Amino acid sequence: MLTKALQLYLEGLSFREIERIIGVSHVSISNWVKEFKIKKPPHPNYHPTYKIFKHQELVEFLQNKDQLSGAGMIITELGDKFMLIKWERFKD
């Protein structure tokens, strides 16, 4: 859980978002970030969004090329589901 929480923090998710995803208190996550002196890299032009998918839902999502254009993404296993973190440029 510690590694996943820190990974999500570095990906740009807030403590409360991480709490909802992995079920660990946002206070614990904050303490881990302080303990390990983790600094978020700047993401001034991008913002992350995340979605949780079952396997077949993920396959269907990835088949739509429009979902993939203009963004970076990472997929990670989350128990029996998958989490997709996607970065898109802020729209003016």
Q: How do residues 9-43 score in pLDDT, each as one tens digit?
A: 888 888 998 998 889 999 999 999 999 999 887 76
On whether both 30 and 67 belong to a single domain, the answer is no
Q: Residues 59-79: what's their mean pLDDT?
A: 88
81 and 58 housed in the same domain: yes
For residues 48 and 92, state if they share a domain.
yes
| Domain extent for 86 | 44-92
3-state secondary structure the chain: CHHHHHHHHHCCCCHHHHHHHHCCCHHHHHHHHHHCCCCCCCCCCEEEEEEEECHHHHHHHHHCHHHHCCEEEEEEEECCEEEEEEEEECCC
Q: What is the number of domains present in the chain?
A: 2
Residue 92 has pLDDT above 70, yes or no: no
Of the segments 12-16, 56-60, 65-69, 75-79, which one has the largest average pLDDT value? 56-60
Output the average pLDDT for the chain: 87
- Same-domain pairing of 16 and 34: yes
